């Protein structure tokens, strides 16, 4: 597989072209805006957190296939999880992006497809944008 194919797995492009959980939760209790000032990508993430559980998640934004697919996959993954679990996913994802040792037993689902991003240092910030927003939102809520 070429480097380019490592980066652009079909599952990533699928999430980019058909984003899951796109939109905005009305009346949600967590709403976060975040942007990447170096490239202009931006995300508006809304979460509904009840009794420490992320019961719903939606995102809106503009950006490249990596940032938008990452947001789509993340919202899919964290729905129904506790905030601690969501933050643990974020931690593992960040380690995966930086090419560091991470908990390989953790089931990240589709997100494993983003592992190729670690080979493209300039694109790591694209992949982590939604996750940084989620971490900020949950920490503010908590």
Partner 1 sequence: MIKDDIRSYFPILNQEINGNPLVYLDSAATSQKPIQVIEALKKYYEFDNSNVHRGVHTLGNRATDDYEGAREKVRKFINAKSTEEIIFTRGTTAGLNMVASSYGRANVSEGDEIVITYMEHHSNLIPWQQLAKATNATLKYIDMEADGTLSMAAIKAAITDRTKIVSVTYASNVLGTINAIKDIAKIAHQHGAVMVVDGAQGVPHMTTDVQDLDCDFLAFSGHKMCGPTGIGVLYGKKEHLLNMEPVEFGGEMINFVGLQDSTWADLPAKFEAGTPVIAGAIGLGAAIDFLTDIGMDNILAHEHKLSQYTFENLSSIEGLTIYGPQDPLARTGLATFNIDDVHPHDLATALDSRGIAVRAGHHCAQPLMKWLSCVATARASFYVYNNEEDIDKLAEGVRFAKEYFANV
User: Interface residues with partner 1 (CB under 8 A)?
Assistant: 2-5, 7-8, 10, 13, 38-42, 62-66, 120, 122-123, 126
Burial annotation 35-62 (CB, 10 A radius, 16+ → b, else e): bbeeeebbbbbbbbbeeeebebbbbbbe
CB 122 to partner 1: min, Å:
8
Nearer to partner 1, 36 or 48 (CB): 36
Asked whether the beta carbons of 113 and 5 are under 8 A apart, the reply is no
CB 74 to partner 1: min, Å:
18
> How many Å apart are CA 100 and CA 38, to the nearest integer?
24
Nearer to partner 1, 2 or 27 (CB): 2
CB 50 to partner 1: min, Å:
33
CB 49 to partner 1: min, Å:
29
Classify residue 82 by its DSSP letter.
B
What is the CA angle 134-138-139, rounded to 5?
A: 115
Nearer to partner 1, 19 or 92 (CB): 19
Nearer to partner 1, 27 or 37 (CB): 37
48: left (phi over 0), alpha (psi -120 to 50) or beta: beta
């Amino acid at each position: 597989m070429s480097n380019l194919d490592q980066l652009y797995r079909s599952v990533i492009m699928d999430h980019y072209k058909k984003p899951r959980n796109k939109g905005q939760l009305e009346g949600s209790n967590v709403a976060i805006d975040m942007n990447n000032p170096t490239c202009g990508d931006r995300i508006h993430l809304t979460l509904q957190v009840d009794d420490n559980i992320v019961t719903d998640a939606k995102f809106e934004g503009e950006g490249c296939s990596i940032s938008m697919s990452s947001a789509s996959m993340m919202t899919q993954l964290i729905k129904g999880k506790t905030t601690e679990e969501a933050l643990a996913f974020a931690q593992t994802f960040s380690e995966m992006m930086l090419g560091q040792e991470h908990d390989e037993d953790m089931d990240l689902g589709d997100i494993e497809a983003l592992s190729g991003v670690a080979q493209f240092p300039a694109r790591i910030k694209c992949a982590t944008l939604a996750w940084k927003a989620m971490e900020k939102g949950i920490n503010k809520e908590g």
